[in-house]
Amino acid sequence: MATVWRRLGGKTVYDAGIFRVRKDRYEFRGAPVHPFHVIECAPWINVVPVTEGGEVVLVRQYRHGIQAMSLEVPGGVVDASDADPAAAAARELLEETGHAGAELELLAAVTSNPAILENRTYCYLARNVRRVAAPDLDEDEALTVERVALDRIAPLIASGEIHHSLSVCALTLSLVRLDT
């Protein structure tokens, strides 16, 4: 299906450091329409680390958007220092959980909310991870590492205990890949 939208241009109207808001002008079927706002941010990664014993390594941390704790997979931003999203996944896994030692399998690159966000989240599966160090958290991070049996993941998603949409996506993709 051919698009009926044509972007006429845009400009940044707010820069919050970790993201920017861009105001775009569009034409729809040849007629100018009201502006659309788009959030620009770096790509994100999520990694589902599974131990040799079949446990998923998760993190529990406070999330300001919902003002509550969230149980989720390790994840973060692809920094300029990262060679690619896989490097960011390995870095975040080690920093947040102290786990490493596995080859990363790309499960998918998903769009979180393409209505307003322009970036992608790269979801990885890391099999047979092991703890190799203590977590090395940023100064504004406070989280706990939890190991959860693989067969408990689907019930935790269904109950709403795991509710972060990108974690749900990565975990579901992993369950399909692992054929559980």
What are the residue boundaries of the structural domains of the chain, listed by start? 5-40, 44-178
Query: What pTM was estimated for this model as a whole?
Result: 0.93
User: CA 39 to CA 141: how far, in whole Å?
Assistant: 24
Q: Is the pLDDT of residue 1 over 80?
A: no
What's phi and psi for 168, nearest 5 deg? -60, -45
Pick the closest to residue 143 from 44, 48, 74 (CA basis): 74
Q: Is the pLDDT of residue 180 over 70?
A: no
Name the CATH superfamily for 44-178.
Answer: Nucleoside Triphosphate Pyrophosphohydrolase (3.90.79.10)
Pairing of strands 44-51, 121-131: parallel
pLDDT tens-digit profile of 73-106? 999 999 989 999 999 999 999 999 999 977 899 9
User: CA 96 to CA 1: how far, in whole Å?
Assistant: 43
pLDDT tens-digit profile of 142-177? 899 999 999 999 999 999 999 999 999 999 999 999
Q: How many residues does the chain have?
A: 180
Tokens at 177, concatenated = 């890949």
What's phi and psi for 75, nearest 5 deg? -170, 175
